[in-house]
Structure 1
Amino acid sequence: MMNDEFYDNDENIREEWSCSLSPDDPHRSGIPFSRRIRLARIVGLAGLFLPMASVLVTHFLSGGWWLLLVGWAFVWPHLAWQLACRAADPCAREILNLKVDAMVAGIWIGLMGVNALPAVALVVMIAMNMMGAGGCRLFIAGLAITVLSTLVTLQLAGSVSAFSPDPLEWGLTLPFLVCYPILFAWLSYRTAIRLAEHRRRLALMSTRDGMTGVFNRRHWEMLLRNEYETCRRSRQGATILLIDIDRFKNINDTWGHDVGDEAIIAITRQLQMTLRAGDCIGRFGGDEFAVIMSGTSAESGIAAMSRVHERLEHMSLPGAPGERLQISVGVAAWGPQFEHYRAWLKAADVALYKAKNAGRGRTEVAA
């Protein structure tokens, strides 16, 4: 796996990490849900206005009913959105708005007559919104509300029309029956894309270090365990490196933690530029890194670290021009003497301390 696949610079790393760690409170998480329902409601009610009006005009309703129809079709979607946005829990408020939709839809179905073609389109819209928002449970609740309000309205209005839509009703309703499911499918597709992106961010959070973008310690040790088992079964070679920034505490104390972060990121980039794409780099702690080099001998690991040592000699930190970075490296090649992957890791750790005790800025190999 490439260690720099998703991380081209530290700004991108910090931005991605901060987005992933944003608090997922009910208000913040409910807004996208309300926005999705808002678009479906705006398009659905506006698209049904003319088909419903073509039926209601034959029922000789008073002007107040027409004002209510206009308000429901063109004002209610925006009012419902504002109510959801201002609520502490927009998701719960939007569920309530959907139930209001179901109740009002039942009233209009009763006024139009349950067999009118626009009534069928209205039921389709309400049913799709309910199913898409809350599954079967909300769908059944919405259906019950719609049926109840329809029966009450029929009882009060006392008008039922036969299923004999004229060409005008067909012409106004059929485009809605074709276009609204397409809109709903598109909204569902967008939601699926956002969920996939959210899962990708969660995967990054669980495996990557926030500052550098390389693997975190937990995931790196899992990769080491897998590599150890592979080497044990196939007897192929592999080498691990433990790398520590020399005098890192002095850098932090002298220049501040910002320069310390610069040092960590600089070492990360040097490792990424020097090592192969398939080498697994992990951050073990504050200033300690670890590398798994599959199918590589200890000599190849030493040669790679020699190139890193040479590059660091000619590099300075932007925040501390006079400071020179050095690293100490412990190298341990896999061998059958290691009975556990932690024993292999311990050998590299002993080699690292050997490098530090020998004067730092050098690479030592496990005995």
Structure 2
Amino acid sequence: MACVRFNGGDLALTQRHAGKGLSLARRLYTSRILGLALGFFCVAAGMYPLHPPPWVWAFMLFNAFIWPHLAFQWARRSAVPFRAEHRNLLVDAFLGGFWVAAMHFNPLPTATTLSLMAMNNIALGGVPFFLAGCLAQALGIVIALPLFGAGFVPQTSALQLYACLPMLTLYPLALGYICYQQATVLGRHKRELLALSRTDSLSGLLNHGAWKDQLDIEFQRCRREHRGAAIALIDIDHFKAINDTYGHVAGDIVLRRLSKLLKQNLRMSDQAGRYGGDEFCLILPGVPLEHAVELMDSLRCRFGGLGYEQSPALQVSLSIGLATYSPEHGDVLDWLNDADQALYEAKTTGRNKVSYRRGDRSPKVQLSPS
């Protein structure tokens, strides 16, 4: 059994790497097609005055127009595409060094080839991969020297200058656009992850921590602007008995129905959250106590009148504790404790009611169900 669990985890890890690697391979496929096509004219202009044999021209064409497609298929069919694409990038660097030596280190084509490859490698893998690319380029130079001989061409012709211009202008523009797209995607993912980290998965409302953060913001705003607000803690009565009698699926339906009801009946400025288990919480900025009591009693009545097709006999009710902001509150926990005490009083005096505490700490008042 231990082996089965290990293999399953290993498979999941491989699948995650595969998804990441395929995304990288698709991005690099486009940039490799463009970069090597433009690089062909740069290298061809550097090689032309040296009168290379036909096999060199054939190899140049292969590198520019066939290798990008082979590299993509190699990565796509690999068990770990991410590693395969890193290998492809090292092959690119090796071939870049090879052509630099073949051109006898002609200054402009050499600088164009090496600098743009360096930019590509450091953008994709940082300094460690940049250094690995440099080693691959050096190996390409070492392999090419015996084939083409050691030499140096100090002059760059007008043809070579114009052949390098597209590579110097279009490829950085394309790479910058790809990086921009990636940054946009990462930014969207970051926002989505932030939203998920602040949201309760079952109800779709703020989770406990995010709601308390909003409560602290509202407390500071009330203190700073000398304005009022109310908070409510809402408990589904006898929720454990609902789960035990009708099942957890029915319990989840009840939680979702309450969440939906809250979303439908709150203002944009109100903040609803799931405090935990069967307990929900609300922040009602700028709402006086009397209005807050009316809103919560209306919520209690609406929720109590809901029917459940899956369980027609199911009856639900709410106990709600309300508390208004008071300058006498030492901190946000004092305000929250008032709401918690009001909820406790509603639950211990018969449930299915709204109980509240005024901000001036006057005695509680309970609203019995109509």
Distance 1:299 1:290 in 2: 18
Residue deviations 1:130-158, cap 9 Å, x none?
12112344334434542563365345422
Distance 2:132 2:169 in 1: 25
Distance 2:112 2:277 in 1: 62
Alignment of 1:123 with 2:114, yes or no, is yes
Alignment CA distance shift 1:254-1:75 (3 Å): farther
Provide the residue aligned with 1:202 in structure 2. 193
Distance 2:173 2:22 in 1: 23
Q: TM-score, normalised by structure 1?
A: 0.81
Q: How does 1:11-90 map to 2 (within 5 A)?
A: 25-85=16-76, 90=81
Q: How does 1:130-279 map to 2 (within 5 A)?
A: 130-143=121-134, 145-147=136-138, 149-150=140-141, 153-154=144-145, 156-158=147-149, 159-167=151-159, 169-232=160-223, 234-279=225-270
Alignment of 1:289 with 2:280, yes or no, is yes
Cα drift, residue 331 of structure 1: 0.7
Residue deviations 1:200-251, cap 9 Å, x none?
0221122211222221101212222333344445543221100012233343
* Selected match of 2:307 from 313, 316, 320: 316
State the identity %. Answer: 34
Q: Which runs of 5+ in 2 are unaligned?
A: 1-11, 358-363, 365-370
Counterpart residue identity of residue 163, structure 1: Q
Higher mean alpha-carbon deviation, 212-221 vs 157-166, is at: 157-166
Provide the residue aligned with 2:340 in structure 1. 349
Residue deviations 1:47-105, cap 9 Å, x none?
32344345445544444434433332233333433444455654444333322211211
Whether the 8 Å CA contact 2:31–2:174 is kept in 1: the answer is yes
Distance 1:360 1:145 in 2: 75
Kindly tell me the number of residue pairs found equivalent between the two proteins.
Answer: 345
Q: TM-score, normalised by structure 2?
A: 0.80
SS in 2 for 1:323: coil
Residue deviations 1:5-40, cap 9 Å, x none?
xxxxxxxxxxxxxxxxx9894444344333322321
Residue deviations 1:311-367, cap 9 Å, x none?
335432353355344221111122345434323222222222322333332211132
Whether the 8 Å CA contact 1:241–1:329 is kept in 2: the answer is yes
Cα drift, residue 293 of structure 1: 1.6
SS in 2 for 1:320: coil
Alignment CA distance shift 1:63-1:254 (3 Å): farther
Distance 1:125 1:318 in 2: 66
Q: How does 1:329-344 map to 2 (within 5 A)?
A: 329-344=320-335
Q: Which runs of 5+ in 1 are unaligned?
A: 1-21
Distance 1:56 1:41 in 2: 21
Whether the 8 Å CA contact 1:312–1:324 is kept in 2: the answer is no
Instruction: Indicate the structure whose relative CO is greater, using CA pairs within 8 Å and at least 6 residues apart.
Output: 1
Provide the residue aligned with 1:6 in structure 2. none
Provide the residue aligned with 1:19 in structure 2. none
Whether the 8 Å CA contact 1:241–1:291 is kept in 2: the answer is yes
Distance 2:220 2:170 in 1: 56
Cα drift, residue 299 of structure 1: 1.5
Whether the 8 Å CA contact 2:36–2:64 is kept in 1: the answer is yes
Provide the residue aligned with 1:16 in structure 2. none
Cα drift, residue 189 of structure 1: 0.5
What CA RMSD, in Å, does the superposition of the two structures yield over aligned residues? 3.0
Higher mean alpha-carbon deviation, 245-254 vs 301-310, is at: 245-254
Distance 2:153 2:220 in 1: 75
Cα drift, residue 307 of structure 1: 2.3
Whether the 8 Å CA contact 2:318–2:351 is kept in 1: the answer is yes
Alignment CA distance shift 1:322-1:57 (3 Å): farther
Whether the 8 Å CA contact 1:275–1:304 is kept in 2: the answer is no
